[in-house]
Amino acid sequence: MNKLIFFFTMLLASQMMTAQELEPRDTEDWRQKPEVVTPGKKCNQPPSDAIILYSGKKDASKWEMDNDGSPLKWKATKVLTTVKHTGYIRTKQKFGDVQLHIEWRTPKKVVGDGQGRGNSGVFLMGLYEVQVLDSYNNTTYYNGQAGSVYKQYAPLVNASRGPGKWQTYDIFFTAPRFNADKTLETPAYVTVIHNGVLIQDHVKLEGPTVYGGLPEFKYHEAKLPLKLQDHGNPVSYRNIWVRELNLWDTKTPLNNLATMDPFEKNGWKLAVQAWSFKEFTFAEAVAKVKGMGVKYIEMFPGQKIGAGIEGTTMFDMDKATRDKVLKFCADNNVKLIAYGVVNAKSPEEWRKLFEFAKYMGIEVINVEPPYDEVPMINKLAEEFKQKVGIHNHATGSKYYQPETVLKVLKGTSKYMGATPDDGHWMRSGIDPIKAYKELKGHIIALHFKDINEFNNLKAHTAPIGTGVLNVKGALQTLKDIGFKGVMTLEYEYHWKNPVPDLKESINYLKTVAAEIE
């Protein structure tokens, strides 16, 4: 009840204080006092709220064989050591969100190489593996070395100690959440510190660990046992402890509502389309987006990259170029979140496009394909677990009418949807609010803009709030129909210096987004 009172009090306060500066007390949160936890005397020792999973032979009773639940067959002394071909072991207790500390050691005598040298694994919830491997002067595929989220993320660095030396993992894991209908609501996330060095930084998992193929989330219980892997190599563990967390309730900052980002509050990711800077390089576009305080950018094919990186933003760029582009974006704290509008000339090119999007971590591909290619694209979307949005241009283009989009989406997978462009709708005499409602449940991303004249194909974009768009009505409708996803601003006027008008648009949007109910 106290939280509810605080919520409505701050909601009212946020509306009343839009025109005045907040007082310091307005950002003070007295709702909940953090629980006191006594830390261990040393950093690797368990704090007072930890559950001890292994500190010696007496703790063997907390583990069982994974294949049949029988008593532990691994060697349990002061340390816990794998016994070849006995199988995985699991905790009897089940866990969800956790902080896990675990120490491990591979044999001092080096035997084998690659994946055959000191191989084991820590399986969070028994499903999501952080790889254990002797990776000291041992070459293997990078997303399979020590500290990798196996086959999903290579570690940021190799922090391995030599064979026979004890090593530590401190793992912070957020379990996935599922909706009542057993569909995925939020994925799992993991952070890993290896020997005191950050090697995985809150990475988003794509699903449970698989050796072959692509991972995909499937419904499972909220808590499951922790597992350790027998991979046929003698690996030892000690000082295993875990803290149960409830990160689900701590994702929203404790700041008051007046200071919360109105886009994130509504589940929207505000991006800027690089096409707004088509007179510049992609690198310059990233820098300008960063300067406007926006965290996301949508790339379009064919823009010169710049910043000393050769080539263009076509999806056929080689791996070295991809890595340079990703590093440049990361260095500027701007994430490449969408790509388009793009089409391909053959099934082989479509596959290359999906491979590119997967590698670059792109959330949505925006396309305008021939009608008969949609089934093929849908199959690729399912294979790659990749969102694809059907985009519209103005009158005369394939998909300018919402009913056409609905028709081609009929029978497609959950990865297929619409990425409507309200500017092209308005040029075509279509009311965006009515069209959003017509596409309810199918919109996965947006191109959002304002224009200077309705029902005129020659109308140009205008700063949002100065044109014909009912901005508040549009945002309220998007919230009402449950849209959550990428909202890309696209500005196609004043090409030589679009930043002032984009800044004006962003500021106006934030003001209006904060007002919708």
What pLDDT band is residue 517 in, cutting at 50, 70 and 90?
confident
Element (H, E) at 239: strand 236-244
Q: How do residues 144-162 score in pLDDT, each as one tens digit?
A: 999 999 999 999 999 999 9
- The amino acid that residue 125 corresponds to is M
Name which residue leads in pLDDT, 7 or 165: 165
CB 365 within 8 Å of CB 388: yes
Q: How do residues 441-469 score in pLDDT, each as one tens digit?
A: 999 999 999 999 999 999 999 999 999 99
Name which residue leads in pLDDT, 392 or 265: 392
> Which residue segments constitute the domains of the chain, with CATH numbers given?
51-249 (2.60.120.560), 259-513 (3.20.20.150)
pLDDT recorded at residue 17: 45
CA atoms within 13 A on the CB side of 294: 30
- CB burial class (10 A; 0-12, 13-18, 19+) of residue 174? buried
pLDDT recorded at residue 250: 44
CB 98 within 8 Å of CB 124: yes
- The amino acid that residue 295 corresponds to is K
Strands 268-273, 296-299: parallel, antiparallel or unpaired by DSSP?
parallel
pLDDT recorded at residue 35: 81
pLDDT recorded at residue 21: 60
H helices of 267-316, where?
282-291
Q: What number of other Cβ atoms are within 10 A of residue 348's Cβ? A: 9
pLDDT recorded at residue 43: 85
pLDDT recorded at residue 313: 98
Quote the CA–CA distance of 350 and 216 in Å, as a whole number. 21
Please provide the distance, in angstroms rounded to a whole number, between the alpha carbons at the two ends of the chain: 21
What pairs with residue 446 in β-bridges?
A: 487
Mean pLDDT of the chain, nearest integer: 91
What pLDDT band is residue 23 in, cutting at 50, 70 and 90?
low
Q: How far is CA 164 from CA 85, 135, 142, 365, in A?
A: 22, 12, 22, 47
pLDDT recorded at residue 515: 86
CB 365 within 8 Å of CB 339: yes
Residue 503 phi, psi (nearest 5): -60, -45
SS3 content of the chain, % helix, strand, coil (to 5): 30, 25, 45
Quote the CA–CA distance of 270 and 268 in Å, as a whole number. 6
What pLDDT band is residue 267 in, cutting at 50, 70 and 90?
confident
Report the share of the chain in percent with pLDDT over 70.
91
pLDDT recorded at residue 25: 65
In the predicted model, is pLDDT for residue 84 greater than 80?
Answer: yes
Q: How do residues 396-445 score in pLDDT, each as one tens digit?
A: 999 999 999 999 999 999 999 999 999 999 999 999 999 999 999 999 99
Could you identify the residue written with the tokens 């984009």? 502
Could you identify the residue written with the tokens 């009505």? 473
pLDDT recorded at residue 253: 42
Q: How do residues 290-318 score in pLDDT, each as one tens digit?
A: 999 999 999 999 999 999 999 999 999 99
Q: Check residue 320 and report its DSSP letter.
A: H
What pLDDT band is residue 356 in, cutting at 50, 70 and 90?
very high
In the predicted model, is pLDDT for residue 18 greater than 60?
Answer: no
In the predicted model, is pLDDT for residue 7 greater than 50?
Answer: no
